[in-house]
Amino acid sequence: MPTILLLARLVLAAVFVVAGLAKLVDRDGSRRALIEFGVPPLLALPFGVLLPVAELIVAVGLIPRATASWSAVGALALLALFCVGIAANLMRGREPDCHCFGQLHSAPVGRQTLVRNGLLAIVAGFVVLEGWSDPGRSVVGVVDSLSVGQALVAAAGVVMVAAIAIEGWLILNLLQQQGRLLARVEALEQGGGTQAVAPKVQQAGLPIGSAAPEFQLRGLHGETLTLAALRAAAKPVMLVFSDPGCGPCNALMPEIGDWQRDKSLALTVALVSRGGAEANRAKSAEHGLMNVLLQDEREVAEAYLSRGTPAAVIVWPDGTIGSSLAQGAGNIRDLVATMTDQQPTADVVATNGHKPQSPTPAGVGLVAPEVRLPGLDGSTVDLADFRGRETLVLFWNPRCGFCQRMLDDLREWERSAPANAPQLFVVSTGSAEQNKAQRLRATIALDEGFQTGRRFGAGGTPSAVLVDAQGRIASEVAVGAPSVMALANRDAVESH
């Protein structure tokens, strides 16, 4: 038993020292993972340092006999906390990136993650229960008891095990890369060289729907500007993070001035810059900029997990994050186009999605407009193929904050919809990868220009319309999550 307890302590120590060091090396990734798990952004920064430090303290304490028992209690507490956090997210249908071992190994959590942490918790519990009075053999004592030859053999064994582990890890990564390359080659061959498999892109910035960090910054003329003041107009706010010494930022300044003037009815654009007032005042005067906010260094940008410039993010009037972080001038232009052309109208935004005025309906009783769009796998999806059963056509945008807030409810509806519920057909903007990440069971067609939604009378997302089994419009357009879900459940309610 003493030897088994020693081995258990060494296993736990090895796991915690690797996890702690890896997290410290990649503190930005660790902070992002904590936010995805539900930790408030303001607490994620200190916790991103305290957690790996705690793991290292536990790892070191497991080695000496004098501190092994209490360190095992600490290990058990940390593992129990991890298990609770993972289980809570899985129960909500969320699979955030665990980032358990920093950049060495990071993947979405799942049952296997829960099982792994559970097994380690059992090991820690074993050390606590069986080794409280006697935590097992001493590492120093074991080494002292070995002869020179035995010590050399043991050292060689440790080196060999480490070498095999490193080699196995390298081979596994090489095989994964080869698999991705083969998938791309196969896609090119099947598509005649016109399509390639897009790499999975991790959402940048704070999670959509999370609370936007508040701030209070000075303006160009000494005035005080806050996020609450920018949100007071009941319109989406786009924060653009910039730097006076950034070439792409300077090239984007004329367009930012145009957006502030031309898009003001739909969007409040604010420039969050660093540097002195004089440098920014000159650029502001040159391009007619408004809402220029000055941060001391990069404190506000870092609170929004923005590490480069230019970058931009949407904040809804209710103070929640409405988009992933758009990085680079091209992505910022796309974000502006999405917000001003495809997002909910000012009425929808102001009411936070709760029963706003619907756009002009496409015509109840008329034949539904023809829909033939590319699917997620590149094949053509035709609305006519859905005839024979009532269909809920849902207009969607993965970058829409309102869509993300109703995503869990929509997934639950898919899992437990009654037999008489309509089939779901999603017409979405965004890329195939962005829409696959929504993990919806329904057929999804891609309509990047939102032309299909407009032909049905939809003015924003999320919105939906029912099409009957004969292909005719069976409802007015429902706008906002509550109205969409009510439409999805309409037949079930009427049948009662």
129 and 66 in a common domain: yes
9 and 125 in a common domain: yes
- Residues ≥6 apart with Cβ < 8 Å to 299: none
Domain presence at residue 158: no
Identify which of 87-91, 477-481, 484-488 has the greatest average pLDDT: 484-488
Q: Is the pLDDT confidence value at 198 over 70?
A: no
Domain presence at residue 303: yes
Task: Domain of residue 479: give its range.
Answer: 372-495
18 and 100 in a common domain: yes
Give residue 218's pLDDT: 84
426 and 300 in a common domain: no
Give residue 445's pLDDT: 93
CA 158 vs CA 161, 163, 235, 383: distances in Å: 5, 9, 61, 62
315 and 265 in a common domain: yes
CA 248 vs CA 203, 262, 309: distances in Å: 22, 21, 8
402 and 323 in a common domain: no
Domain presence at residue 150: no
Taking residues 440-465, what's their average pLDDT?
83
Give residue 351's pLDDT: 34
Give residue 127's pLDDT: 86
Each residue of 121-132: pLDDT tens digit? 898 888 888 878
Sheet-wide strand order for 463-467:
443-446, 423-428, 391-396, 463-467, 478-479
What's phi and psi for 150, nearest 5 deg?
Answer: -65, -40
Question: HEC states along 1-31?
Answer: CHHHHHHHHHHHHHHHHHHHHHHHHCHHHHH
401 and 281 in a common domain: no
25 and 128 in a common domain: yes
Any idea of the CA torsion for 311, 316, 319, 320, to the nearest 10 degrees? -70
The count of structural domains within the chain is: 3
Q: Is the pLDDT confidence value at 101 over 70?
A: no
Domain presence at residue 25: yes
Q: Please tell me the distance from the alpha carbon of residue 10 to that of residue 17, in angstroms, as a whole number.
A: 10
Taking residues 4-28, what's their average pLDDT?
82
Each residue of 212-224: pLDDT tens digit? 999 988 888 777 7
Mean pLDDT (the chain, rounded): 77
What is the Cα Rg of the chain in Å? Answer: 27
Each residue of 398-427: pLDDT tens digit? 877 778 888 988 999 998 888 888 999 999
Task: Determine what percent of the chain is predicted with pLDDT higher than 70.
Answer: 76
Give residue 237's pLDDT: 92
Query: Which of 145, 177, 204 marks a domain boundary?
Result: 145
Domain presence at residue 208: no
Taking residues 174-196, what's their average pLDDT?
47
324 and 380 in a common domain: no
Question: HEC states along the chain?
Answer: CHHHHHHHHHHHHHHHHHHHHHHHHCHHHHHHHHHHCCCCHHHHHHHHHHHHHHHHHHHHHCCCHHHHHHHHHHHHHHHHHHHHHHHHHHHCCCCCECCCECCCECCECCHHHHHHHHHHHHHHHHHHHHCCCCCCCCHHHHHHHCCHHHHHHHHHHHHHHHHHHHHHHHHHHHHHHHHHHHHHHHHHHHCCCCCCCCCCCCCCCCCCCCECCCCEEECCCCCEEEHHHHHCCCCCEEEEEECCCCHHHHHHHHHHHHHHHHCCCCCEEEEEEECCHHHHHHHHHHHCCCCEEEECCCHHHHHCCCCCCCEEEEECCCCEECCCCEECHHHHHHHHHHHHHCCCCHHHHHCCCCCCCCCCCCCCCCECCCCEEEECCCCEEEHHHHCCCCEEEEEECCCCHHHHHHHHHHHHHHHHCCCCCCEEEEEECCCHHHHHCCCCCCEEEECCCCHHHHHCCCCCCCEEEEECCCCEECCCCEECHHHHHHHHCHHHHHHC
Q: Taking the model in full, what pTM does it have?
A: 0.38
Segment among 59-63, 157-161, 458-462, 473-477 with least mean pLDDT:
157-161
Task: State the pLDDT confidence band at 106, using cuts at 50, 70 and 90.
Answer: low
392 and 287 in a common domain: no
CATH number at residue 238: 3.40.30.10
Give residue 195's pLDDT: 36
Domain presence at residue 76: yes
Task: State the pLDDT confidence band at 102, using cuts at 50, 70 and 90.
Answer: low
Q: Is the pLDDT confidence value at 478 over 50?
A: yes
324 and 389 in a common domain: no
Give residue 23's pLDDT: 80
Residue pair 31/305 in contact (Cβ under 8 Å)? The answer is yes
Give residue 122's pLDDT: 92
Domain presence at residue 431: yes
Each residue of 230-257: pLDDT tens digit? 888 788 999 999 887 777 888 888 889 8
Give residue 109's pLDDT: 67
C-alpha torsion sign, points 25, 31, 37, 39: positive
Query: Which of 96, 113, 145 marks a domain boundary?
Result: 145
Token readout for 478 is 């429902």
Each residue of 318-340: pLDDT tens digit? 888 988 888 888 888 888 887 87
Token readout for 152 is 């050399």
Residue pair 304/205 in contact (Cβ under 8 Å)? The answer is yes
Give residue 352's pLDDT: 36
Cβ burial of 208 (10 Å; 0-12, 13-18, 19+) is buried
Of residues 234 and 314, more confidently modeled? 314
Specify the residue for token string 């999370």.
210
Q: Please tell me the distance from the alpha carbon of residue 311 to that of residue 246, in angstroms, as a whole number.
A: 11
Query: Which of 318, 341, 364 marks a domain boundary?
Result: 341
Taking residues 287-302, what's their average pLDDT?
86
Segment among 53-62, 66-75, 243-252, 410-419 with least mean pLDDT:
243-252
Domain presence at residue 67: yes
394 and 315 in a common domain: no
Token readout for 454 is 């407009």
Task: State the pLDDT confidence band at 169, using cuts at 50, 70 and 90.
Answer: low
Task: Please name which of 370, 442, 386 lies closest in space to residue 411, comparing C-alpha atoms.
Answer: 442
